[in-house]
């Protein structure tokens, strides 16, 4: 009996240690009125465009003149339909909130529009100058001081303005799919207007 008890305790201890070594997976309970999407943004050579209104990705040929998209993803870069990226009213604001449901007021100021700057287009690194939103792209913290790079989700909720000027609160909740492939961006959003 004593050996059986010791064996059970030893087994539980080993299981506990093995679980502690695994990367914790954050489970986010979506808001009641939220939409959750996962976008395959694994390609370095293209942007994937999203319509918040439609709740899906959309095909775009002329992003700077098309108002049917709100956000685009290129790996971990974010483009919004405004500023130098489009004719819309897109802009971004990072909040100090970490819970979608607790963010209930729409700030009047502080939104940042898209600018043109350098983004990485391939591995090994090659770069190009394209429009994107630096504030919205802060959803992912990437530390390239070590190799391989260290990726960390920003836990804060953002407010994005859509092409039409509506306000969407959005939280990015994952960047890896079930097969452990990076670049599959999962986010939850709720219209505030």
DSSP class per residue in 73-85: EETTEEEESSGGG
pLDDT at 16: 35
Q: How confident is the model at residue 146 (pLDDT cuts 50, 70, 90)?
A: confident
Domain ranges of the chain: 33-191
Residues 30-54: tens digit of each pLDDT: 556 899 999 999 999 999 999 999 9
pLDDT in tens, 103-134: 999 999 999 999 999 998 887 888 999 999 99
CA distance 108 to 92: 12
The pLDDT value recorded for residue 136 is 98
Range in 8-17, 65-74, 111-120 the model is least confident about: 8-17
């Amino acid at each position: 009996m004593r050996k059986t008890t010791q064996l059970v305790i030893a087994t539980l201890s080993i299981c506990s240690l093995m679980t502690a070594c695994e990367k914790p997976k954050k489970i986010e309970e979506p808001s009641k009125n939220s939409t959750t999407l996962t976008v395959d943004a694994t390609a370095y050579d293209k942007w994937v465009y999203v319509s918040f209104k439609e709740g899906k990705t959309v095909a775009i040929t002329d992003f700077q003149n098309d108002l049917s998209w709100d956000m685009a993803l290129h790996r971990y870069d974010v483009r919004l339909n405004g500023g130098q990226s489009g004719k819309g009213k897109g802009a971004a604001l990072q909040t100090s909130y970490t819970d979608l449901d607790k963010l209930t007021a729409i700030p009047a100021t502080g939104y940042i529009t898209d600018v043109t700057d350098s983004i990485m287009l391939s591995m090994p690194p090659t770069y190009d100058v394209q429009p994107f939103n630096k504030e919205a792209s802060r959803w992912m913290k990437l530390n390239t001081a070590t190799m391989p790079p260290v990726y960390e989700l920003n836990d804060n909720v953002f407010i994005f303005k859509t092409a039409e000027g509506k306000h969407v609160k959005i939280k990015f909740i994952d960047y890896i799919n079930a097969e452990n492939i990076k670049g599959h961006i999962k986010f939850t959003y709720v219209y505030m207007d």
